[in-house]
Structure 1
Amino acid sequence: MTGNEDVLRLIIIEESQNDAEAIANILRNAGHVVRYHYADSLEATAEGLEQQLPDLIILAQAQEAVTMNGLRELLDQHCPETPVIFIGDTAEETQIIAALETGAADLVTYDQPDHLRLVVAREQANLLMRRELQHFRICHEESEKRCRSLLDSSRDAIAYVHDGMHIYANQSYLEMFGFDDLEEIEGHPIMDMVAPDDTTRFKEFLRNYNKQEQKVDNLEVQCISVPRGNFKAVMEFCQASIEGEVCTQIVIRDQASGDPELAQKLQFLSKQDILTGLYNRQYFLEEVELAASDAQAGSAESYLLYVLLDNFKGVKDTVGLVGSDIVIKDIADLIRDKLGEQGLAARFGDNSFTLLLRQGDLNAAQALAEALRHAIEEHIFDIEGRTLTITSSIGISPVTENVPDAHEAISRADLACEVARSAGGNRVHLHNPVTDEQLGREREQQWKQAIIDALEQNRFSLMYQPIVSLQGDPAERYEILLRMRDGDGEEVPPGQFLPVARQTGQIVDIDRWVIGEAVTRLAERRREGHDTIFFVKLSGPTLEDPELPLWINEQLKNAHLPGSAMVFEIAEKEAADHLKHTKAFTKSMESIHCKTSLEHFGGGPNSFQLLKHLAVNFLKIDGAYIHNLASDENNQAMVRSILDMAASMQKECIAEFVEDASSLTVLFQLGIPFIQGYFLQEPHPGMDYDFTEESI
């Protein structure tokens, strides 16, 4: 039925409204919530159909204004599947047969209310099944279209075979075997693709596979191709259907091509920041960790530079996201030019960079920092005819035997950079263990108090970023983002207060505030009739709280919310660092029907291994693989492999940081269920939107 399944929507065609009300009362006494439109003519019936499509129509035989033929013509224009029940004084066998022959669902009598009740229940069930069938047919057609689009865009050679004959092949398959179009290969035997030496073995394999006696679903053979000659390949088989016809899907992978090179490319990609071409944060931390280990072992010291662009938020506000990306890329080019072969550089944050000089000396590090600071200050950025300049603050910290690990090394360089920024920016500062750490403690204490004040004075607020279904799911989904205002009412970016909150342990209190506020807002949203789902981020320290699942359950119960309305997100790195607690938390959430998600999936070195331990429902694919997706085949290959793996494990994927229509098109062709990012600027009423890439 349409709408609320507890409501029965009728058109009752009777001589008088009192008779119609009597019929409605019979159904109300049977437990139905009845909403009916009374009609005493064909025109009044048409009026009722215009207002709302009914679940069924009850037509009194005694009245003469509406005939079954006239009613059927009217229904054919609006809702031909709507059943019509005749009601009369008698229901002899001949009368029932005559009613059925006119197209009525049944004939009932006024004096048999139980019969009416049962017929209505039956027709309700039948109507629901017909509408569900129609829905599934539409979904099936869309799925077939999406599948065909995915097949046509796949780099893998894929064919569908029935009784040994090709009925479909994608473009990669046609190119592999030298066919110009699909018509050439339709009806062509698959046996012709196999070299003569392997045909006997191939026939035996197919015979056993078709009898379902074959346990192995792949076969190594020599294939034969006009453009390529003989080549070794692996054929992968699985049962499938295409346009309703049962067949066998065959994927052919050339053993001699692609795999080692692709693996090498993917390995390089895993180390790279896509926007700038510099190393990414994860790889840089690994290199700093090695430098710290070398220093502890007595090798030469290294030097770490932390570069922060001054007032980058103002740049973003002025030139927008695309323009700020141009600034970031230009800065990366300046860093590459000044660094040369002295060391390695990474994009460490949104507007921060790090450089590592292995086995350098202090004079070289300071000279490099000054040269880089001067180059940034003097550079004129040209953004679509608009020019601007920017400065930077640079902190330097030696990586000595006293530095225990990479995070401490970065922390010291970051602190030195903060000293430079606090002094007015556009300067270089060498880390001083005494004065800098004192400043760091003072700064941390100030932020700690600011967070306490924000919690007590309700200066935190939530923002919402939409997560959109590409497969027609009507539910509205939002990721929750956090913002804080200072005492003057100015917004404080999360990147300024959240790192301190993690260090001081206040992140646990903040996470609880976010959950509580999200539950309140979600309950309001659902009371307004919206089918809303919130994605809420959790930090690693919060996951260590054994009472958290019970507390979440209480919050949901008090707000009368189902667990399925909440999805808890955990960054992949946080999950790996707190694996034991994350595993326990995901199991607890499953027991109360809440779902869980791994954020930035694919960004770490052991992403797929992590899934052996965590029963999460969603994988949010790392934004590095979504950037330039339309033009980067390596990114497409990585996204495809994640989607294939997720499908095999019955998990759904979300593409984060979707910023352009081209990437959206590729993602749709790949069949990804959900997308999120800057591209989706389509607000709904009552929601405070945020389309930045900053997160809680």
Structure 2
Amino acid sequence: MQADRTLNLLIALDDSDRANQLMYLLRDAGYTLNSNLVDQNTDLQELLNQQEWDLLLTEMELKSANVRGITTALKNRQPDTAVVMISSTDDPESNVVVEGLRMGADYVVPTDEDQYFLLAVSNSLENVKQQRKRASWKQLYLDAESRCEGMMDNNKDAVAIVKEGTYIYSNPVYSRLFGFDDPDDMLMLPVIDTIGKTSQGQIKPYLKPLSADAQIESTSLNVTGTTTAEEDFDTTINISQILYQSETALQFLIDHRILSPEITGTLTAGEATSNLSDIQPKKVIATIDQAILKAARTEEQALAIYIRVDQIHEFKSHSDAAGAEKLLDAVYNFINQHSPRPQTLLKFADDVIVALHEINSLDKGRQYAEELSRAIAAQTFAAGEESLALSTSICVSALNHANQSAVACLKQCQQAIAGDDSNLRNTSAEARIYCFDNVEFDRFESEKATIEFGRLLLEKRLIGIAFQPIMALQGEPAEFYEVLMRPKVEDYPYEVPEDFIDRVFKTKVAGEVDRWVILESVKALAEKLKKSPDTKLFINLSATSILDPTFPGWLKIALQAAKVDPAHLIFQLREIDVGRHIDQSDQLIKQLAQLRARSALTHFGLAINPILVLDKLSFDFVKLDRVLVKASLEGGENAKGMVNLLNATQDMKPALIIPFVENPSIMPTLWEHGVDYIQGYYVDEPRPSMEFDFVESS
């Protein structure tokens, strides 16, 4: 952002003199300011509605208002606005920078660091400029995509777009080929329903979730298609991977030269109209996409209310389509009259109505949905000669910058109502209202994928283990190995995060993984002890196992069954888990000691006062975090962190382990400070079996 254009500035500082000083600095740097002060009397929502802001200046120790509330409200409404926080402390050992970043700051600047402040502002505004430029280009891209879609509508080739095995677009030629009068009738239809049984095996590999990183080669498939009248026909589908609505998808194309004239004839002549002519899934998708774009451009969040009438399909089973249509019409008219706010109201399916509300609060949307559900339940609706009491299932989805597309939004709603997503909460057992804010949905989806993949690995016995030796410098001369979990798969599915192993230990499936790894480890250890009776294993435990009161009892039985002495095992607890669960960790350490097993504290040294944990709990080993080891190798001021910890722990009980020793350059420091053990590629890499020669390497 150029310094000569107007900077729209929000200021939330207790000291007005300091605020003026910062404004003078900005003006001297060439910025023209349009500023506004924010305090507890300020209507922040009104300010955010007035215009687009570029920068918020605030301070960590703000007393005149709630700084976290200000940054949260700002990021929810205008996520690309930069935040620079001023801190009164410049102590490098304090946690102030981390806390500031957690509160939404782009930079945390110490007081009186004027040059740092100006650089932070300049860099933050450049990021704002780039984010807004990306949003503008995205709008242009989507406009171009919309024009391309118009060209596909008038194409004589049969064209469809498929995502995750579902049609998300089909042109009139394609829909007529499969017996549909209206292309909208194919939206959200599973592809497999339009393919003959003899060809379903061919098409299934192309119905899986796609990854932009793994391009599918274009191909042609000779398949048997199935029409709505269950008539089979042979055709050739040309499949290619494309980007559609900014997401990876597949294009299905059938050349018009192999189609009959009645299929490829004039597109508008003689087209039959659907009985439910006012069901408009395509218009629903387009309207939601426009709302998402508007939210990205203006930060004006809207809500999509997905309303399913629960009894319509049952009614159709003993009535007719016309009666079901009248029933949906009656509900549609009732919702239209009941709504107190301007809205777009459209029919999405024969039992679903979608409303778009200009409500910027998920809580208000939930309240509206609950009131609407109760109002519908209190009414009776006429359909022919019948009068029915109806219930609804309603999903409220925030349309904001985090939404990927209308199709994804609608699919989330369908999954929520079907009960497929345990992360979406049912707010009322009677009303069946589901709410989600898409700012958090990506995190939920990632956690869900991690849990599901972890369970799959357990069920298919695809969790393997590797052993990395830990060599003694001056400690107990045993043959120590750390057990490392290694999934037996070459590549993770695209939806599983790359740091799966780290993430799985933060989920509820972690306890099951712990037990599997322990069983596999002691099985291997039992065999190893026959040849090397001094072998001992370090095994990691998650927070789930720390909190599980049944774990010590289970461990005792498992070791008895494997005929392994617990003295050959050391269980590793992470510093962050121990810090959060001091009492439970203390109890577990004592229970392990009663079994004659030992304990180790890993990832040590990242807490504000790491020595405090060692003073409170009795560990046998302590292993530093890799961050400290890496900083020591890089030199400079950061290198002091590891040396300070080595000095502080030198006279304490636990034996000290330094992991991630990758080369000999660090060895003099470790010898000088009395380190007991080292681990890393300098010693040996993790291997599937315990074959390291400790005698030759000592």
Please, what TM-score do these two structures have when normalized by structure 1?
A: 0.38
Kindly name which structure, 1 or 2, has the bigger radius of gyration based on alpha carbons. 1
Please, what TM-score do these two structures have when normalized by structure 2?
A: 0.38
